[in-house]
A and B are shown apart, each in its own frame.
Chain A
Amino acid sequence: MAYSKKLLDHYENPQNVGSFGKEEENIGTGLVGAPACGDVMKLQIKVSDEGVITDARFKTFGCGSAIASSSLATEWIKGQKIDEAAKITNKEIAHELSLPPVKIHCSVLAEEAIKAAIEDYKTKKSAN
């Protein structure tokens, strides 16, 4: 598979790898994909009282495109308000990384992971 330089950079040196501690507050977690399909993304956000994503983490089981898409997603959402971050589309991710057509689903998964993390954060917040 011929990958773009940007994609390979993210794959070789993925940004924001890891997990937030379970006890940390103001965390939203999105877990999307399925092992049977060959991709699982876990994306976490840390949100300030003002609704700004101050930090993000990810772990991805998947191909090079999936790892790069999630790494890029965490970079983009850091510093954004949650409502802005929720507007990021898979097309923007696919374009930035020049994903081959057969790998577009990786960018879809990254978009879903951001939305799922924000949703989880909102659900937790309203529960408190």
Chain B
Amino acid sequence: MTVKLPIYLDYQSTTPMDPRVIDVMIQCMKEDYGNPHSRTHALGWKAEEMVEIARRQVADLISADPKEIFFTSGATESNNIAIKGVAHFYGQTGKNHIITITTEHKCVINSARDLEQEGFSVTFLPVQENGLIDLVILEAAITDKTCLVSIMAVNNEIGVIQPLKEIGALCRKKGAFFHTDAAQAFGKIPLNVDEMNIDLMSISGHKIYGPKGVGAIYIRRKPRVRIKSLFSGGGQERGIRSGTLATPLVVGLGKAAEIAKNEMAKDCAHVKKLSDKLYQGVMETTNVYLNGDKENRYPGNLNFSFAGIEGESMIMAIKDLAVSSGSACTSSSLEPSYVLHSLGVEDELAHTSIRFGIGRFTTEEEIDYAINLIKTKVQKLRDLSPLWEMMQDGIDIKSINWKSH
């Protein structure tokens, strides 16, 4: 069987849409175009009914009540609402401290930075070398002023799963709300807001084979979490998020959530099998390192560093694979990945990191192709690399007095 090139291995960036999601969205756009907030005619009622079905589908995936789900434009907006919304509400009561970690997505880090500018106290906790939070450090950081702890479920760059249940228990015990950015976890790993004591959760549509431009936020009702909304408007979504709902997108998110719930076991087994195969194949090459904890990870994300090779040249060499890199050279800022930096990965290995994302539509043939290509190109680029030559000659690269520029 021949494979179609390029092979898509960037499932953390976004996912192709499931055809079943597209079908319900098209139906919605063609026939059910009413405004779900219109109360005066049947088209409005029908759209509202479809939105409420979607709300239940999203809620069911995390064992929440549909009344606790609010639709947004995506996880970035949900993260902004959770962090700024909670801080702005509880800041008035004197709880003006929030805690997050250094490996969060930029939208969490920058929301926290914005609050810092406003006078809030923010603690950015480090992670361990395996990318996981140290619960002892977290416990020590929570004070009676802490209103929110925001820690992501699955890391977007390295795929590690934080100990959500333990973090939730700790937050409950200490009286702080627990928010988790679950953009990379929702629909991929089992999540239960009650068992994990999650008070707020950010959800994305396009990471689970749904449409781009839609997401949701879960906000707990019992005990109730209060939010100061970011938008002024007509008070839709119980005042949490004003603005007419994008019914086709919401319906698409709901369908994607329903499929993810029904097929999670199948998806997981498929992804795990291909992930194990890719891992074993790539690790046959010497001096390759997996970034992030080996056990506590979502298998659909494998982030490797290839010693002696720079990430962008690797991406150019394996251009048949659509992947992304933590290398500085692929970013406009020329800074290597801050996530890998937080793990204490040395700069030269951070420059060589490549993330391989596997998902529902990845095939075994594609993984076989990828393994062969990676092995061949690693050899070619190492033949080109002065660092690799030094390593082979037994020269310690750190012993050289490099002139940084």
State the CA gap A109–B405 with chains docked (Å): 9
Across the interface, name the chain A residue whose C-beta is closest to B401: A34
Across the interface, which residues of A come within 8 angstroms of B313, CB to CB? 11, 62-64, 66-67
Is A105 a contact partner of B405 (Cβ separation < 8 A)?
yes
Is B332 a contact partner of A61 (Cβ separation < 8 A)?
no
User: What's the least CB distance linking B341 to chain A, in Å?
Assistant: 11
User: What's the least CB distance linking A10 to chain B, in Å?
Assistant: 12
Is A38 a contact partner of B351 (Cβ separation < 8 A)?
yes
- Please judge, given known A-B contacts A36-B348, A39-B310, A105-B405, whether A63 and B386 are in contact too, CB under 8 Å: no
For chain B residues 338-397, which have a beta carbon within 8 Å of chain A?
346-348, 351, 383-389, 397
The yes or no answer to A21 lying at the interface (CB within 8 A) is no
User: What's the least CB distance linking A88 to chain B, in Å?
Assistant: 18
Across the interface, which residues of B come within 8 angstroms of A11, CB to CB? 313, 316
- Please judge, given known A-B contacts A33-B405, A37-B404, whether A62 and B310 are in contact too, CB under 8 Å: yes
Q: Which of B310, B334, B397 has the most CB of A within 10 A?
A: B310
Is B386 a contact partner of A37 (Cβ separation < 8 A)?
no
The yes or no answer to A40 lying at the interface (CB within 8 A) is yes
- Please judge, given known A-B contacts A35-B402, A41-B386, whether A102 and B347 are in contact too, CB under 8 Å: no
State the CA gap A64–B309 with chains docked (Å): 11
Is B386 a contact partner of A60 (Cβ separation < 8 A)?
yes
- Please judge, given known A-B contacts A38-B327, A61-B308, whether A33 and B332 are in contact too, CB under 8 Å: no
Across the interface, which residues of B come within 8 angstroms of A109, CB to CB? 405
The yes or no answer to B312 lying at the interface (CB within 8 A) is yes
Across the interface, which residues of B come within 8 angstroms of A36, CB to CB? 346-348, 402, 404
Is A14 a contact partner of B310 (Cβ separation < 8 A)?
no
Q: Which of B309, B402, B404 has the most CB of A within 10 A?
A: B402
The yes or no answer to B329 lying at the interface (CB within 8 A) is yes
For chain A residues 1-48, which have a beta carbon within 8 Å of chain B?
1, 11, 14, 17, 19, 31-42
Q: Tally of A-B residue pairs with Cβ under 8 A?
A: 88
Across the interface, name the chain B residue whose C-beta is closest to A8: B316
User: What's the least CB distance linking B310 to chain A, in Å?
Assistant: 5
The yes or no answer to B161 lying at the interface (CB within 8 A) is no
Is A31 a contact partner of B386 (Cβ separation < 8 A)?
yes
Can you list 11 pairs linking A and B with CB atoms under 8 Å apart?
A33-B402, A34-B404, A35-B351, A35-B387, A35-B397, A59-B389, A61-B387, A61-B388, A62-B313, A64-B313, A67-B384
User: What's the least CB distance linking B218 to chain A, in Å?
Assistant: 38
Across the interface, which residues of B come within 8 angstroms of A1, CB to CB? 312, 330
Is A34 a contact partner of B385 (Cβ separation < 8 A)?
no
The yes or no answer to B336 lying at the interface (CB within 8 A) is yes
Tally chain A residues at the interface, Cβ within 8 Å: 30
State the CA gap A119–B385 with chains docked (Å): 22
Of the candidates B312, B330, B384, the one whose C-beta lies within 8 Å of that of A59 is B384
User: What's the least CB distance linking B312 to chain A, in Å?
Assistant: 4
Across the interface, which residues of B come within 8 angstroms of A103, CB to CB? 329
State the CA gap A73–B43 with chains docked (Å): 68
Question: What 6 new A-B contacts, CB under 8 Å, besides A38-B348, A64-B313?
Answer: A11-B316, A14-B384, A17-B384, A41-B386, A60-B384, A62-B313
Across the interface, name the chain B residue whose C-beta is closest to A42: B386
Is A64 a contact partner of B312 (Cβ separation < 8 A)?
yes
State the CA gap A31–B400 with chains docked (Å): 10
Is A34 a contact partner of B403 (Cβ separation < 8 A)?
yes
State the CA gap A63–B317 with chains docked (Å): 10
The yes or no answer to B323 lying at the interface (CB within 8 A) is no
Across the interface, name the chain A residue whose C-beta is closest to B310: A62
State the CA gap A117–B271 with chains docked (Å): 50
- Please judge, given known A-B contacts A37-B405, A63-B310, whether A19 and B332 are in contact too, CB under 8 Å: no
- Please judge, given known A-B contacts A33-B405, A64-B312, whether A38 and B383 are in contact too, CB under 8 Å: no
Is A19 a contact partner of B404 (Cβ separation < 8 A)?
no
The yes or no answer to B328 lying at the interface (CB within 8 A) is yes
State the CA gap A97–B143 with chains docked (Å): 57
Across the interface, which residues of B come within 8 angstroms of A38, CB to CB? 310-311, 327-329, 334, 336, 347-348, 351
